[in-house]
Amino acid sequence: MDASPRLTLLLGSAPDVMRCAAWPKHAFASIVAINNAWRVRPDWDILVHAGDFPSERMPQPGPAQQIFSAADYVPAQNTFGGFVYAGATMSLTAAYWSIHSQRPDVLAFLGCDMIYDRLGDTHFYGTGRADPLRADVTLQSLEAKSARLLIHALRRGTLCVNLSDLPRSRLVFPKLSFEAVRELSPSLLAAVRSELRAGIDHEAVAAADAMEREFGYFYEDGMYWNRLDEIDAAKLARIDRLWLAAVERRVAPLQECDAAE
């Protein structure tokens, strides 16, 4: 019998991330927390944090827990074209790192919708900084950046899904329930990936890839903010439009998968 797909859970800090607190650990090959999300559940496996994450908020890791920061995720991000094209916010950065280092069959996002217009707390721990909404040339369209991530993940055999049950998200991934993701068999997972690939405009993808190579906004140290005078926001917006066009005609986001064979 085929082994179950390897599932990595990626946790952000939106309030609904707390839904996962009771999910069984054995359902996941690994749990990756971003910044403060290590506080959501004590059995996290990996913490990926920003370079400016305050030291006083760092956990004391257990024997099997690992912590990674810029020295680890910058090289990983570079294998996908670098921060300028991938989008410099930790939800995206941690996702590319997870795909590169964990190589999951499914990367499941929770608490990463990047929607901040609801009343009340912005983060599970109260009010926090809405980092993805800062004025940054790499973050003109979060939807486009998530479309790029979806496609790059599929190239490496990883399906990105969103476990959020919120009505809106900046992520363009298929939306699935935790129960549906747990029931994904290898054959059903292959079918979902094939359906997604069939709905992608591969001419738009090729054009976006070519434009990224042409503009050459790649900085090995990851410090693109030191070269802002070299980066044309209008050119990046053209690339964003191509990544969005690439997923416009794909199958509608899957709200549920029928796990029956």
**Which residues are bridge partners to 47 per DSSP?**
33, 67
Cβ pair 107, 160 in contact under 8 A? yes
pTM summary value: 0.91
Q: How far is CA 61 from CA 13, 42, 43, 67, 236, in A?
A: 19, 10, 10, 8, 39
E-strand stretches of 6-153: 7-11, 30-34, 46-48, 66-68, 106-110
Q: In what order do the strands lie in the sheet with 66-68?
A: 66-68, 46-48, 30-34, 7-11, 106-110, 159-162
Q: Where are the domains of the chain?
A: 7-248
Contacts 24+ apart (CB under 8 A), 68-77: 68/97, 70/222, 72/48, 72/97, 72/101, 73/48, 73/97, 74/221, 74/222, 76/100, 76/101, 77/222
d(CA 14, CA 156): 27
pLDDT-wise least confident of 66-75, 88-97, 113-122: 113-122
Q: What mean pLDDT do residues 41-45 have?
A: 96
Structure tokens at 30: 């690994």
d(CA 252, CA 202): 17
pLDDT-wise least confident of 10-19, 88-97, 127-136, 241-250: 127-136
Q: Give the mean pLDDT of the chain.
A: 89
Tens-place pLDDT, residues 48-91 = 999 888 899 999 999 999 999 999 999 999 999 999 999 999 99
pLDDT at 119: 58
